[in-house]
Each structure stands twice: as structure tokens, then as C-alpha cells.
Amino acid sequence: MSIFGKWEQSIKDRNADGMIELLHEDYTFVRHQTGTTMNKSETSEMYRGFLSSEGITTKEHRCVYENDDVLVEHSVIDFADGSTESILACHTLKDGLIIRTETGATLIKK
């Protein structure tokens, strides 16, 4: 199964550990909103929080492109505060795992 297939199934199952297993030990999440980064441990806690919250749902999730070096995905996420964002994520892959993630988010007005 592709990285996207495993990633998508983990999201559908609300299985944070499944997502975390796909992260390389040297993983970095780039936070463009704050100009900071998070390591694997910090990102793991974020994913656990997101997937344990019934107020956060992912919809219209799709793979834009995937090969051995990169995975690009798009989804629409409803957050617990009532906001909705369109998220484009670019994951850089190494050794069959995600080593770096950068996202772009656009607020969707309701």
C-alpha cells in the first residue's frame, strides 16, 4: 500500500499511531504561520490531539501526487472552533517514510 493509502486509512480510522508510524525519526513539520518547526514528538502530540477530537473532521481527502520522493495531498478540515480550512500538504519522503511536511492553508468562509 502507498504512503498515501496508509496515511488516509489512519485518518479515516482516527488512528494517530498509524500516522506516527509513517514519520521518519528525523521528521520536521514546518509551521509557516509562526515561522517555526516541530519535530516528530511534537507533531505526534498534535496528531493525537486532532484525531481524538470529535470536533475535527477531514473531508474531500485526496492524493494530488505521489512517488518515492514526495507525496502531495489536499483535504478540507473542519475544526472544533467552527472554522474550515482547505489544506494542501507536501510531504518529502525518505526511506519510505515522511521526513518533512509543509502545508498551505486557506480559510473557507461559510
Mean pLDDT, residues 10-23 = 96
- As beta bridge partners, residue 34 has none
Can you give the pLDDT at residue 96?
A: 96
Alpha helices in the chain (DSSP H): 3-12, 16-20, 40-52
Q: Which residues contact 48 (CB under 8 A, 6 or more apart)?
A: 16
Interval 36-92: pLDDT, tens: 999 999 999 999 998 998 889 999 999 999 999 999 999 999 998 999 999 999 999
Using an 8 Å Cβ cutoff, are 63 and 73 in contact? yes
Closest CA to 71 of 50, 99, 48: 99
Domain ranges of the chain: 3-107
Residue 93: pLDDT over 90:
yes
CATH architecture entry for 3-107:
Roll (3.10)
Can you give the pLDDT at residue 7?
A: 96
Can you give the pLDDT at residue 30?
A: 95
Better pLDDT: 96 or 33: 96
Kindly report the number of other CB atoms within 10 A of residue 63's CB atom.
15
Amino acid at 110: K
Would you give the distance in Å from CA 93 to the centre of its chain? Answer: 13
Can you give the pLDDT at residue 15?
A: 96
